[in-house]
Structure 1
Amino acid sequence: MEERPGRFLGVDPGAVRVGLALSDDDARVALPFDTVKREKNDKAAARQVRSVLEAAEVPCAALAGVVVGLPLRLDGSEGEAARRVRRFAEALELTLGVPLHFVDERLSTVAVERTLRTLNVPRAEQRRVVDQAAAALLLQAFLDARGQETWPEADSDEAVAEGPSPGDEPAPAGPRGRERRAGARPRRKRR
């Protein structure tokens, strides 16, 4: 399936709140967007997300896709939480009419909470932004992985060569066969 152009919506669905993030127009950078209180019914929760997008004048038709954090178990298997998220994601896909992408969200909220504490963000503010920041973290991971697939091949004209060019002589070997840095003096033995 050919990829649609546009922005991506990142979703970190929780039992109480749903964190939302949006990519920039070039789908390279994820930004925290909003946090909404989670409706119990999946269809109502999906409609709520659509309403938030519409209120911000982000048309669903302009989205390239929705990236949903899937809460896998630590061993990588899916449990009840992952099944609940998949049901919600299906409702999102039907409501928004855009393709779904799932990313592993294990410990993403924990990582964001740790970062917010390190930055001395007040607790009340942490509660307000943690879900949308987690959604941005998930979305950025997806965008980064997606971007790696479009990097130029190593033998293309666009690729940037790093390191020595073919034919460059290696640095002379020092004691024990290790290479020495160019211009480095040999070490003196300790007595």
Structure 2
Amino acid sequence: MALISVIGLDIGSKRIGVAGCDRTGLIASGLTTIDNKSFAYVTDQLSQIIRQREATLLVVGLPYTLDGAVGAQARRVKKYTRRLANALNLPVTYVDERLTSVEAEQQLQAERRFSAKDKGLIDRRAAAIILQQWLDSSRTSRNNECPT
């Protein structure tokens, strides 16, 4: 089994939730939340995480509108992500992140770890959900490939 290291991001105007996966690419977990103080600050924080984890790809949640369109928020996230990918010299892929924050909140409530004041925890969990969706779909794609 190939070892992978991928970083998942839930990009918001105030905070960025960051998730990573185990080296087998099976399980995503929240790592941290970065205050979106400035582009330079975010880039510096992410650079450290990427170096430590030897990450080779960014998986970013794209906030489509509920009807599946690319709205203003999704365009902002794409623009920001392009700058990040260039600054970090990493490829990027997107995952539909509709309702991941709601799902993250529900999971935390079920675990009795929810506090409406801890938005950072919600952002980290949302990033983990985004990354887990990508891991699951990429694993399914790899399993369906024909042997050569």
Category of TM-score, reference length = shorter chain = 0.7 to 0.9
Larger Rg: 1
CA RMSD, Structure 1 to Structure 2 (Å) = 2.4
Instruction: Give, as a single letter, the amino acid of the residue that structure 2 aligns with 1:88.
Output: Y
Distance 1:132 1:14 in 2: 11
Partner of 2:77: 85
Instruction: Give, as a single letter, the amino acid of the residue that structure 1 aligns with 2:30.
Output: P
Instruction: Give, as a single letter, the amino acid of the residue that structure 1 aligns with 2:73.
Output: A
Gaps of 5+ in 1: 157-191
Percent identity between matched residues is: 30
Higher RCO by CA contacts (8 Å cutoff, separation 6 or greater): 2
Are residue 114 (structure 1) and residue 106 (structure 2) matched? Answer: yes
2:29 corresponds, among 6, 28, 31, to 31
Distance 1:75 1:124 in 2: 27
Distance 2:66 2:136 in 1: 23
Partner of 2:59: 67
Distance 1:83 1:45 in 2: 19
The TM-score normalised by the length of structure 1 is 0.68
Distance 1:43 1:93 in 2: 13
Distance 1:126 1:75 in 2: 29
Residue correspondence of structure 1 range 40-189 to structure 2 within 5 A: 40=38, 42=39, 44-54=41-51, 57-58=52-53, 62-123=54-115, 126-151=118-143
Distance 1:77 1:23 in 2: 29
Change in Cα spacing, 1:95 to 1:13, as seen in structure 2 (3 Å) is: same
Distance 2:91 2:3 in 1: 12
Are residue 16 (structure 1) and residue 8 (structure 2) matched? Answer: no
How far residue 80 of structure 1 moved from its aligned partner, in angstroms, is 1.0
How far residue 104 of structure 1 moved from its aligned partner, in angstroms, is 0.4
The TM-score normalised by the length of structure 2 is 0.86
Q: Which of the two has greater helix per residue?
A: 2
Partner of 1:161: none
Equivalences, count: 146
Contact 2:62/2:97 (8 A) holds in 1? yes
How far residue 52 of structure 1 moved from its aligned partner, in angstroms, is 4.6
